Amino acid sequence: MSHLLRELHGDSEYGDVIELVMPFKADFVSVSRLTASGIASRVGFDIDSIEDIKVTVSEVCSKIVEKGSVTAKHYKIIFRISEEELRIVFDCEDKSIKCIFDESDDGLSISIIRALMDKVELCPNNNYILSMSKTFKEKF
């Protein structure tokens, strides 16, 4: 099993995993927001945290769609639920899509994502695009 698969699917730290496969189309960014909202609500986040998650998912999806891909038709949003956090990983089979945010051009978006989420990996050394987590205030 590859490191990425072990990290995303194989470690016992996480319980439920929900994968959403998205086309590179702006019309479907709202689907990612609704899905993120539903998952965040289901696992017990308060309304403010749910809004934070929706905003950040929308920011990342919009940027992924803007960048696009020559070889891939879709990208994935992987929601990982543990006892401590909701981790959201964005992945694509087109590995040329890595650092989608540029510090100089996308400073506002980066600031928003970092302010609203507890952990953010913008340009990870792993085989995915971006990872962000929101910690539960109380364990569920």
Range of the domain at 23: 16-135
Model pTM score: 0.86
Give helix 107-116 / helix 47-67 axis angle, nearest 10°: 150
Cα 11 from chain centre:
18
- The average confidence (pLDDT) of the chain is 88
- Confirm whether 27 is domain-assigned: yes
- Confirm whether 128 is domain-assigned: yes
Instruction: Say which CATH number the domain at 119 has.
Output: 3.30.565.10
Report, as an integer, the average pLDDT of 106-121: 94
Integer-rounded Cα radius of gyration of the chain: 14
Domain count of the chain?
Answer: 1
Calculate ∠ Cα 50-42-115, nearest 5°: 20
Which pLDDT score, from 0 to 100, does residue 6 have? 46
- Confirm whether 10 is domain-assigned: no
- Confirm whether 23 is domain-assigned: yes
